[in-house]
Amino acid sequence: MPGKKVKIFMGIRSDRWTTRANLVNAREDRAFRKKIASYNDNYGLNGQTTYILHGPKGYKLSDDPKEIALVLYSDLDMQKKQLKQTRRRIKNMNNINQMELPI
């Protein structure tokens, strides 16, 4: 019985994780990340059913809604933590410099 068809986009495969080092050199990194963001922004539009996952293992193309949701919620948690950390730093800066930056 044949397996699921492997999908590939910019060297990112649906059957395994691929590290960034294997996909792009440091000089092209920013453009690479922009292409991934653009690709993921189109998820669900014009019949696009795949999403590029990013994690500690690297990148992977997926069409599994549960796998995509896990990554999206992980990203949301990370953004909440970063916002909390930034607010704490602004508060500390206000205390040290007696400034009133809005939080």
Confidence of residue 1 (pLDDT cuts 50, 70, 90): very low
**Number of domain units in the chain:** 2
CB 67 within 8 A of CB 25: no
pTM score of the predicted model: 0.72
Residues 91 and 81 in one domain: yes
Residues 51 and 70 in one domain: no
Tell me the mean pLDDT in the region 75-86.
94
| Residue 64 reports pLDDT greater than 90 | yes
Instruction: Of 52, 62, 57, give the one whose Cα is nearest residue 32.
Output: 52
Q: What SS3 class is residue 61?
A: strand
Residues 92 and 51 in one domain: no
Confidence of residue 101 (pLDDT cuts 50, 70, 90): low
Residues 51 and 20 in one domain: yes
Tell me the mean pLDDT in the region 80-103.
82
CB 48 within 8 A of CB 42: yes
Tell me which amino acid residue 34 is: K
How buried is 94 (Cβ within 10 angstroms: 0-12 exposed, 13-18 middle, 19+ buried)? Answer: middle
Residues 57 and 102 in one domain: no
Residues 44 and 32 in one domain: yes
Residues 47 and 95 in one domain: no
pLDDT digits (tens, 9 = 90+) for 17-57: 888 888 888 778 888 989 999 999 999 898 889 999 988 88
Residues 50 and 1 in one domain: yes
CB 59 within 8 A of CB 52: yes
Which backbone phi and psi does 94 adopt, to 5 degrees?
Answer: -60, -40
pLDDT digits (tens, 9 = 90+) for 4-21: 788 888 888 888 888 888
Q: State the residue range of the domain holding 32.
A: 1-63
